[in-house]
Structure 1
Amino acid sequence: MPIAILVVGIAGMLGIKATAQDSEEKKPVDTRPNISYQAIQPTDHTVIISGNGEIKPKESTALSAQVSGEVESLHPNFVAGGLVKRGDVLFTIEKDAYEAAVWQAESELSRAQAALIEEQARANVAKREAKNLPKVNVTDLYLRKPQLLSAQAAVKSAQARLKLAQRDLNDTTVRAPYDALIIMRNIGVGQFVNRGIEVARLNNIETAELVFPVAGFDAVFLPDNIVGANATLHARNIDKTTRKGSITRDLGIVDSNTRMSQLVVEINDPYGLISDAEPLKFGTFVDVQFKGITIENVYKLPQTLVNNRRVWVVDNENKLRIKNVTVLREEGKYFYIDSGLEPNDKVVMTLPEYPLDGMEVKITNDKNEVVATPTASDSQSE
């Protein structure tokens, strides 16, 4: 009995195994790789051009004394790093000698004017007397015309001396020519300064500039009239300050080393003195972006889907096809393609490990999703 039971069990196992093998051999196996795709549409794209550079003052002034004398007073902010407003008195020079010069010039002018009045009266008398004389005896000298001209010239000379004396007196008070950051000061109270000696250096903080290069592949996308275009600046600092500016000019040269052209962006009130804007200090390195021209009928694809200027698509028979494309522009993580693709092409998003042209594939996505049309703001944020 044990032997019989063993034989029956072995026979049953062999039968079950044979039946399973027959079932597996009959069931077909789908070896097609799985892929997903997105249907694409052409769109218009506004090019975003980027650059970077250092914030610098638009204007820097070496301040000099216009008159000689002893320094009497200094503005409390007239120190390195101080900020002063346009018209603030930076320092004053002793003015006694210059006030005396003005008074002296005024007295000389008064004497010259008195002499002119006297000479004018004499000329009028001579003119009345000349009416009773023969014309041959009436000369310019008799009418005192030379004396009158000399008196008039003396008045003008005295006026000029007074004007110069008044200018020197005014120059004893030195004011800020603009809203300024004090970079350096080398005078003190009680120090004697000479005319023309540099006493300080100021940077204009009413306006700052950023000079940045534009590469050749970006230059072809510049608008015809770039002056006045708005630009966005992102500072590479802890606060990641963002400011607005405008492009004011092209320097008109191509750098001999980099072969790049140079554009200038102007930023108003960089230190935020007259607005609530975040300060953007001189020397800060920033990234700048602005809009270029709009390119039409292009396809926006992630760079990961483009390999050696080729894109994989799936045809209506669910077979892989490869297309050669022309990349018009690269921005961020995307390529913008202007030829090689057609509307509604199904771009493969997930390729098999070893793709082949003509390979049959199995579609895993149920929806024929269309690549979103990018807007100018989307592109800028990218």
Structure 2
Amino acid sequence: MLAVGASGEEDPEKAEVDTSPVVRIEHAESMDYKVTIQSFGEVIPLETTRLSAQVSGEVISWNPKFIAGGLVKRGEILFSIEKDTYEAAVLQAEAELSQAQAALIEEQARAEVAKRESKNIPASQVSDLYLRKPQILSAKAAVKSAEARLKMAQRDLNNCDVAAPYNALVIARDIGTGEYVNRGAQVGVINNIETAEVRFSIAGFDTAFLPTILADQEAMVINKGVKTFSRKGTISRDIGIIDQSTRMSQIVVTIDDPYGLNANTPALKFGSYVEVNIEGQTLQNVYRLPQDLVTKNTVWVVDQDNKLQPREVQVIREEGSFFIINSGIQHHDRIVMTLPEYPQKGMKVRIASEVKEPPLVANQSK
């Protein structure tokens, strides 16, 4: 019997496969970072004026823009009161002034005659009364009194036309043509639109990052909505107190021409709830990392042996989806951007940019 021996070919030795997890890294870059402080507040007028009539009389006309929602410019006439009585008072005051001035001239002439005559009589007989000094003082007083009455009459006449004291938004009008108004009666309400204010709160953790000098610092006011737009403002002041309920301080930003009366800009209406951004201090040699890379104040880095190492960091500020870190990592540290599912200290990893993908082999069929 023949025995046939068969032997198969030996399997080639399998290549060693590296199963270390692959991670993506980025190098930490230190920077000087300008802090942006964000808050929110309501747009309010710098001042509100309750208009009152300075004279009594019948309303003979009013400005068509003197209605709720109307915009009027500084010096524009809002309404007028009938002037006949006040014009007559001015004429009468002018006549009284002329009479007083004439009386003064007459007394001065008499005094001049008395002065010449006094040279011919004994000095003991010459008195102030003889020289008509009291009469002249009385005549001068009468002139001043007449000038004052004329001034008051002219003021009342001028007050028959009520003008806007500033560029204004009309909130309310309480009079109509033919209506009789009394002196001091409220006739309308207007808001100053030359300047608006936004008061916003600053939390305690933001206070440390405010500029050293707040006054006159620029602020960006953003009105978000269907048509989002922004306006530049200026920090005018710190209210100077801490709110007892929120423990926050308040800062005021002013915006010029909020309704765009003098420029082609969208109206920043009173009552709008807006976002306010101001530039704070510059933080030197800090790192800005996405929040999802920081867990319990720990960041993972890859050391020179391609091993994972946890680094405890100090977060000094949160801005949006980022943390600002000032210690715990160093310039050019390799920060792990994609962690393995269960990271461990000293775990061997491969760097994604250094991993060579196997070449693609096309399937061959006979």
Q: For this structure pair, what is the TM-score category when the shorter chain's length is used for normalisation?
A: over 0.9
Specify the alignment match of 2:256 in structure 1. 268
1:291 aligned residue? 279
- The Cα shift of 1:141 comes to 1.0
Supply the distance in 2 between the matched residues of 1:118 and 1:58 (Cα, whole angstroms).
56
State the shift of 1:225 in Å: 1.0
Check whether the contact 1:251–1:261 (CA below 8 A) recurs between aligned residues: yes
Cα distance in 2, alignment partners of residues 237 and 347 from structure 1: 38
After superposition, the C-alpha distances for 1:297-326 in whole angstroms (9 at most, x for unaligned) are 101111111111110001001110001111
Match of 1:216 among 204, 220, 229: 204
Q: 1:345 aligns with which of 333, 343, 347?
A: 333
Match of 1:300 among 288, 297, 302: 288
1:330 shift after superposition: 1.2
The counterpart of 1:172, out of the listed 140, 160, 179, is 160
Q: Does residue 81 of structure 2 align to residue 116 of structure 1?
A: no
What is the aligned partner in structure 1 of residue 35 from structure 2? 47
Give the Å deviation of 1:237. Answer: 2.4
> Hey, what's the Cα distance between the residues in 2 that align with 1:320 and 1:153?
100
Match of 1:241 among 218, 229, 249: 229
1:47 aligns to what SS in structure 2? strand
Note the C-alpha offset of 1:40: 1.1
Q: Establish whether residue 319 from structure 1 lines up as the match of residue 307 from structure 2.
A: yes
- What residue is the counterpart of 1:81 in the other structure? 69
Residue of structure 1 equivalent to 2:362: none
Is the CA contact 1:66–1:196 (under 8 Å) kept in the aligned structure 2?
yes
Amino acid at match of 2:40: N
CA distance in 1, matches of 2:246, 2:255: 25
* Matched-pair contact (CA < 8 Å) for 1:71–1:189: yes
Corresponding residue SS for 1:201: strand
Q: What letter corresponds to residue 67 of structure 1 in structure 2?
A: V
Uncovered stretches (5+) of structure 2, i.e. residues with no partner = 356-366
Aligned to 2:173: 185
Q: Does 1:66 align with 2:54?
A: yes
| Deviations, residues 136-175 of structure 1 (Å, cap 9, x unaligned) | 2111111111111001000000110111111111111111
3-state SS of paired residue (1:118): helix
RMSD (CA atoms): 1.8
TM-score for both structures, normalised by structure 2: 0.93
Partner of 1:372: none
Alignment of 1:276-287 (within 5 A): 276-287=264-275
Cα distance in 1 for partners of 2:119, 2:354 equals 120
Please name the residue that 2:148 is paired with.
160
Alignment of 1:77-156 (within 5 A): 77-156=65-144
Change (3 A) 1:352 1:146: same
Distance in 2 between residues matched to 1:158 and 1:315, nearest whole Å? 97
**Aligned partners of 1:74 and 1:188 also within 8 Å:** yes
The superposition leaves residues 209-259 of structure 1 with CA deviations (integer Å, 9 ceiling, x where unpaired) of: 111111111111111111111111110222112111111111111111111
Instruction: Give how far 1:19 is off.
Output: 5.8
> Which digits, 9 at most, give the CA deviation of each residue in 1:276-309, with x for residues without a partner?
1121111111101111111101011111111111
Mapped to 2, the partners of 1:97 and 1:250 lie a distance apart of 50
- Corresponding residue number in structure 1 for 2:184: 196
Q: Distance in 1 between matches of 2:198 and 2:161?
A: 34
Equivalent in the alignment of 1:34: 22
How far off is 1:333 after superposition? 1.3
Return the alpha-carbon distance in structure 2 between the equivalents of residues 155 and 366 of structure 1. Answer: 103
CA distance in 1: counterparts of 2:113 and 2:248, whole angstroms: 80
Give aligned-pair identity as a percent: 57
CA contact (8 A) 1:236 1:284 kept: no
Give 1:377's aligned residue. Answer: none
Query: Counterparts of 2:51 and 2:196 in 1: how far apart (Å)?
Result: 19
**Paired AA for residue 345 in structure 2:** D
